[in-house]
């Protein structure tokens, strides 16, 4: 039996940072041959952008990396989806409290992390600032900050899947 590991990336409106993280992780998961075992989605803490496509600047950057984001539509985080996720990745510090308020303190302690918690070298500030207010350089910085954390996130996923398999074998 294959256990599905669920990841949810969360930012404010779900048009820039969280979809960029979602697509970066999907690419990495596919490259690792884990596509059928790891589900990745994204959402926003607000419904401000619900139904809108990815920000054109984020979309252009993803296309430069061979990723087609045309199917993305922004949506607000769903409480059940948050609770069922094995890993909830906040993109910035202002996303933590809205996520924690839905998850509750215990579940948040188990599943909620910042994307940059997984950077290869410890970083003083784990937040990824919203590039929406700037130009393309902000989107490039966001992409760099996300992609530098991808390997660490995959290591965490592998460890979590192994632990789940061991827990299942004990039952």
Nearest Cα to Cα of residue 1 among 165, 162, 170, 160:
165
Q: Is 130 an active-site residue? A: yes
Torsional sign, CA 164, 32, 107, 42 = negative
Whole-angstrom Cα distance, residue 16 to residue 1?
35
- Say which of 11, 16, 92, 116 is annotated catalytic: 11
Residue 11: active-site member: yes
Categorise residue 122: left if φ over 0, alpha if ψ from -120 to 50, beta otherwise: beta
Selected catalytic residue, list 107, 117, 130, 151 = 130
Q: Spot the catalytic one: 17, 75, 113, 161.
A: 17
Residues marked as catalytic: 11, 17, 130
């Amino acid at each position: 039996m294959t256990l599905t590991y669920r990841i949810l990336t969360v930012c404010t409106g779900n048009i820039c940072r969280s979809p960029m993280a979602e697509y970066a992780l999907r690419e990495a998961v596919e490259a690792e041959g884990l596509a059928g075992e790891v589900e990745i989605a994204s959402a926003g803490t607000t419904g401000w952008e619900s139904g809108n496509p990815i920000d054109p600047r984020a979309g252009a950057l993803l296309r430069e990396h061979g990723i087609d984001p045309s199917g993305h539509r922004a949506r607000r985080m769903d409480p059940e989806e948050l609770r069922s996720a094995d890993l909830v990745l906040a993109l910035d510090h202002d996303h933590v409290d809205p996520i924690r308020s839905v998850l509750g303190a215990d579940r948040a302690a188990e599943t909620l992390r910042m994307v940059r918690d997984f950077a290869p070298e410890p970083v003083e500030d784990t937040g990824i600032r919203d590039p929406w207010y700037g130009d393309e350089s902000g989107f490039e910085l966001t992409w760099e900050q996300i992609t530098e954390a991808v390997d660490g996130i995959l290591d965490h996923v592998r460890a979590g899947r192994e632990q789940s398999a061991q827990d299942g074998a004990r039952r």
